[in-house]
Amino acid sequence: MNQMTRNDDAVQRPSYDRSDRFYIENGEWFYLTREQIPIGPYASQQEAEDGLNAYIDYMQVEAE
């Protein structure tokens, strides 16, 4: 898979564990976008992970 970058993105990005994007608050799950915007709430971590995957797919289509 080819990874696209935005013009203002650094070419070298630090590696991170994708699970660092997920957190629970008041019993509800959220994820953070690359821009550190919280998205949620979701009923479970799996739903939040599915939401993040859908968000990433959407952003990749928008970039094309």
pTM exceeds 0.75 for this model: no
Residue spans per domain, the chain: 19-63
pLDDT in tens, 10-25: 544 444 466 689 999 9
Q: Distance between CA atoms of 8 and 5, rounded to whole angstroms?
A: 8
Beta bridge partners of 22: 31
Banded pLDDT at 55 (limits 50, 70, 90)? very high
Q: Distance between CA atoms of 43 and 41, rounded to whole angstroms?
A: 7
Q: Distance between CA atoms of 28 and 8, rounded to whole angstroms?
A: 33
Question: Mean pLDDT for the chain?
Answer: 82
Phi, psi at 57, each rounded to 5°: -60, -45
* Strand ranges in 1-64 using DSSP code E only, listed in sequence order: 22-25, 28-32, 38-42
